Chain A
Amino acid sequence: MTDTQIWIIIAALGIGTFLIRYSFLGLVGSRPMPPIILRHLRYAAVAVLPGLVAPLVLWPEATGGQADPARILAACATLLVGLWTRNFLAAMGAGAAVLYGVIGINALVG
């Protein structure tokens, strides 16, 4: 990434995100949105983030693309605790605990 590319990303993402936020408040007003659009928008975040994460969990660059038990277990713990507690912080904590726990055990055993 060159400096110019980074600045283009920052500017374009900033403007685009503002326009998304401004869409109804500033432009469309109180007209209701077609239900079919709404039905798709509801799943936007949950459609992007899992797909972004999956390769990072299975083929992490830090291990040269080799599956790493510590990372896979940490990912499972994060997801399960998140599902169970519905709490972002608890999920993060569980993931970090498992990651460092397994890395620590590996270091001791190895």
Chain B
Amino acid sequence: MRWIGSGKDISDLFTFAKGWVTGYASDMTSTTGKSPFWLGFRDALPFLLVVAPFAFLFGVVAADVGLDMLQIIAMSITVFAGASQFTALQLMQEAAPVAIVVITAMAVNLRLVMYSAALTPHLGHAVSWRRVLISYFLVDQTYALSVVRFEDQPQWSLPQKTAYYFGVIAPLYPAWMIASILGALLGTTVPEWLALDFAVPICFLAVVGPMLRSAAHVAAAFVSVALALALAWMPYGTGLLVAAIAAMMAGAQVELWRERARGDD
């Protein structure tokens, strides 16, 4: 499973997590004495700065799109994946058909398959109800911090790894819920000059920028933009789906070329 954990897979989050975790790997004597749960809790704290504003904006935009409070809370609880929640909102605003909204928003979440695979060697032997909970809480942050910490602490038992994982989500999950509710409450009072329609594009671009770490990522993003614009005439948001599939293939192809080029050296 070496290839899954290799740094190039995942966004800068991974690099950040690594820097953050190894930052105090040097005072190992103090970390080994700590309970894994609280270690996870502490590791996750800086991510509150990203999670809380993102969730707040989700609440604001969701209220603006016309979801009521119950629907906003329900979406944050059932989906619990920021980028795909925003994708769904955007397509709902464009009145795309239900199936297109769901498929496109799920496509954003496909990266979670990789995370699920990467965590399986560590947490896949937990009892089944715990694996259900672990799966439910699988997000960028739980994945990135856990994979780094588990490699850092190979002697950890399954209960210790599980405790760490739940420690990471412990501050983030309530923050996500509370901030999205606050956003929904305050969202309707936001004046028009704030141009909140543009919060979603800025949010997404801020997510995408740090992701463009290789030629393959840039190629995928480029194909995605070019085809989405060229196919904007296609009905019901299907142009975006076509663009996304082509972009994934472009990314994979460029990666393959680069690998071969390196192999020939």
Question: Could you say which of B75, B206, B227, B244 contacts A92, with CB atoms under 8 Å apart?
Answer: B206
Q: Interface size (A, Cβ < 8 Å)?
A: 75
Chain B stretch 91-116: residues in CB contact (< 8 A) with chain A: 92, 95, 98, 101-102, 104-116
Question: Could you say which of A6, A7, A41, A89 contacts B50, with CB atoms under 8 Å apart?
Answer: A89
Which residues of chain B are near A11, meaning CB under 8 Å?
78
Which residues of chain A are near B81, meaning CB under 8 Å?
17
Chain A: CB-nearest residue to B9? A42
B207-225 to A contact mask, C-beta < 8 Å, 1/0:
1111110001100111111
Which residues of chain A are near B49, meaning CB under 8 Å?
89
Which residues of chain A are near B205, meaning CB under 8 Å?
53, 75, 78-79, 82, 91, 95
Q: How far is the CA of A43 from the CA of B244 in the complex (A)?
A: 9
Whether, in the assembled complex, B153 has its beta carbon less than 8 Å from a beta carbon of chain A, the answer is no
Q: How far is the CA of A57 from the CA of B198 in the complex (A)?
A: 8
Whether, in the assembled complex, B232 has its beta carbon less than 8 Å from a beta carbon of chain A, the answer is yes
Q: How far is the CB of B99 from chain A (nearest CB, A)?
A: 8
Question: Could you say which of B3, B15, B246 contacts A35, with CB atoms under 8 Å apart?
Answer: B3
In the complex the two chains form, is A9's CB within 8 Å of B88's CB?
yes
Which residues of chain A are near B240, meaning CB under 8 Å?
48, 51-52
Chain B stretch 178-207: residues in CB contact (< 8 A) with chain A: 193, 195, 197-198, 200-207
Whether, in the assembled complex, B172 has its beta carbon less than 8 Å from a beta carbon of chain A, the answer is no
- Specify which of A11, A25, A26, A45 lies most central, judged by the most chain B CB atoms within 10 Å of its CB: A45
Q: How far is the CA of A79 from the CA of B210 in the complex (A)?
A: 8
Q: Interface on chain A toward B: helix, strand, loop, or mixed SS?
A: helix
Whether, in the assembled complex, B36 has its beta carbon less than 8 Å from a beta carbon of chain A, the answer is no
A33-54 to B contact mask, C-beta < 8 Å, 1/0:
1011011111111111111111
Which residues of chain B are near A40, meaning CB under 8 Å?
248-249, 251-252
In the complex the two chains form, is A92's CB within 8 Å of B203's CB?
yes
Q: How far is the CB of A3 from chain B (nearest CB, A)?
A: 8
Which residues of chain A are near B123, meaning CB under 8 Å?
25
Q: How far is the CA of A46 from the CA of B228 in the complex (A)?
A: 13
Q: Which B residues contact A (CB, under 8 angstroms)?
A: 1, 3-4, 9, 12, 15-16, 49-50, 53, 65-67, 71, 74-75, 77-81, 83-84, 87-88, 90, 92, 95, 98, 101-102, 104-117, 119-121, 123-124, 128, 131-132, 134-136, 138, 193, 195, 197-198, 200-212, 216-217, 220-225, 227-229, 232, 240, 243-252, 255-256
Q: List 24 A-B contacts (CB under 8 A).
A: A5-B98, A13-B78, A13-B101, A21-B136, A22-B116, A25-B123, A25-B134, A30-B120, A40-B252, A42-B216, A44-B108, A45-B110, A47-B251, A51-B225, A51-B228, A55-B232, A61-B197, A70-B195, A71-B195, A82-B208, A86-B12, A86-B210, A89-B206, A95-B205
**Further 16 A-B residue pairs, CB within 8 A, beyond A26-B135, A42-B111:** A9-B88, A9-B101, A17-B84, A23-B116, A43-B248, A44-B110, A47-B251, A48-B247, A49-B224, A51-B224, A51-B228, A55-B232, A86-B210, A92-B53, A92-B206, A99-B198
